Amino acid sequence: MIVAMQEKATEEQIDYVIEAMVEEGVEVHRTTGETQTILAAVGPTAALDLTKFENLPGVLKVHRISSPYKLAGKGFRPEGTVVEFANGVKIGGEKVAVMAGPCSIENEEQIFEIAKSVKAAGAGFLRGGAFKPRSSPYAFQGLGIPGLKLMFEAARANGLLVISEVMEISQIEPMLPYVDCFQVGARNMQNFNLLRELGPAKKPVLLKRGMAATIEELLLSSEYIMSGGNYDVILCERGIRTYETATRNTMDISAIPVVKKLSHLPIVGDPSHGTGHRDMVAPMARAAVAAGADGIIVEVHPNADKAASDAAQTLYPEQFEKLVAELRVIAKAVGRSI
């Protein structure tokens, strides 16, 4: 942390700030220039609360220079993390992962039909929610564990891995036998109790960016899982809420290269929630892969218009098939494959 003092800061004010920094357990290195004094904190700065110093008398600006996340930071594993799944599938390596399936598991016929078609198109993971975080308590809430069992059977019958959302701690245990990857949804990115419990769960976790979360907050949330001993975390950009109303969310494609710069964790793009519109899913999926995403997660349904949730952003199987074919070309252009 660097504290830049105002040009007119007095010696008394400077001493006061130094004292406050020392009290936080850091060593202070002072540089007095011709017009301004700079105070650099060295030591355990990760947990420092910058706002504590911003309002002290004589302070101009406070900057953080070392990252507040240690395990998720690039420096922890400069070579990058590759998350490996039971059947040898990897996320974070040369291959771009494709996860696809309905927003919600609805019934046996639906999930078996979609599993077959996404597999044929080239997906490696079957997605589908058994526990649904719906904005309205009256909307379809998901089939729960019985639905998840159906998805597990459909996935295994087609050689696919299973990814499904966990909303609360009590669901971890019953979900464990039926998922290859837990998904933490945007609404739970800062459910710190849940994140902590996913540390010892020892199954990969796809952590979605909260709709009002900064990239730093996303990385700090991943730190909760990693500090519990689970380093198999995959981040997901699924759009953030902005003043724009033309799309459901604003899909922040730039988050992909930013995460690549700051962290060793893989990141996938979710153009379905990122846009909210079926016709915009393919362009943003292509953009995500072009920007360096390690995978995409897309909503696909045999009868997309009639999907129980997120119908407007759900692709028909034919559209998904076409998209994967396009993504193969883009992946190749950026030195990857599908």
Minimum separation from the CB atom of position 146 to ligand PEP (A)? 18
Q: Does 285 bind ligand PEP (CB under 6 A)?
A: no
Q: How far apart are the first and last CA of the chain?
A: 42
Cβ neighbour number for residue 70 with a 10 Å cutoff: 13
186 binds, among ligand PEP, Mn ion, none (CB under 5 to 8 A by kind): ligand PEP
The only residue of 103, 226, 255, 293 in contact with Mn ion, by rule CB under 5 A? 103
Minimum separation from the CB atom of position 297 to ligand PEP (A)? 7
CA distance 231 to 301: 32
The only residue of 273, 278, 286, 336 in contact with ligand PEP, by rule CB under 6 A? 273
Q: Does 129 bind ligand PEP (CB under 6 A)?
A: yes
Minimum separation from the CB atom of position 245 to ligand PEP (A)? 17
Minimum separation from the CB atom of position 240 to Mn ion (A)? 16
Stretch that binds Mn ion, among 78-86, 176-184, 210-218, 306-314 (CB under 5 A): 306-314
Would you say 119 or 273 has its CB closer to ligand PEP? 273
Stretch that binds Mn ion, among 32-40, 167-175, 189-197, 310-318 (CB under 5 A): 310-318
Q: Does 278 bind ligand PEP (CB under 6 A)?
A: no
Minimum separation from the CB atom of position 270 to Mn ion (A)? 9
The only residue of 59, 97, 100, 103 in contact with ligand PEP, by rule CB under 6 A? 103
Burial class from Cβ neighbours inside 10 Å (0-12, 13-18, 19+) for residue 245 reads exposed
Cβ neighbour number for residue 13 with a 10 Å cutoff: 17
Minimum separation from the CB atom of position 310 to Mn ion (A)? 4
CA distance 209 to 213: 6
Would you say 71 or 206 has its CB closer to ligand PEP? 206
Ranked by CB distance to Mn ion, the top (closest) residue is: 103
What's the length of the chain? 338
Minimum separation from the CB atom of position 272 to Mn ion (A)? 6
Q: Does 25 bind ligand PEP (CB under 6 A)?
A: no
Backbone angles phi, psi at 139, to 5 degrees: -80, 160
Q: Does 241 bind ligand PEP (CB under 6 A)?
A: no
Would you say 186 or 218 has its CB closer to ligand PEP? 186
Q: Are 273 and 186 in contact (CB under 8 A)?
A: yes
Q: Does 248 bind ligand PEP (CB under 6 A)?
A: no
221-235 exposure pattern, b = at least 16 Cβ within 10 A, e = fewer: bbbbbbbbebbbbbb
CA distance 301 to 133: 19
Stretch that binds ligand PEP, among 14-22, 71-79, 182-190, 330-338 (CB under 6 A): 182-190
Q: E strand or H helix at 165, and its extent? A: strand 161-165
Q: Does 310 bind Mn ion (CB under 5 A)?
A: yes
Q: Does 208 bind ligand PEP (CB under 6 A)?
A: yes
CA distance 256 to 336: 15
| Alpha-carbon distances of 101 from 35, 194, 227, 235, 317, rounded to whole Å | 61, 24, 31, 19, 9
Within 13 Å, how many C-alpha atoms sit on residue 27's CB side?
3
Minimum separation from the CB atom of position 245 to Mn ion (A)? 19
Q: E strand or H helix at 195, and its extent? A: helix 192-197
The contacts of residue 187 (CB under 8 Å, 6+ apart) are: 133, 210, 211
Kindly list the residues in this chain that would bind ligand PEP in the complex (CB under 6 A).
Answer: 103, 129, 133, 185-187, 208, 238, 270, 273
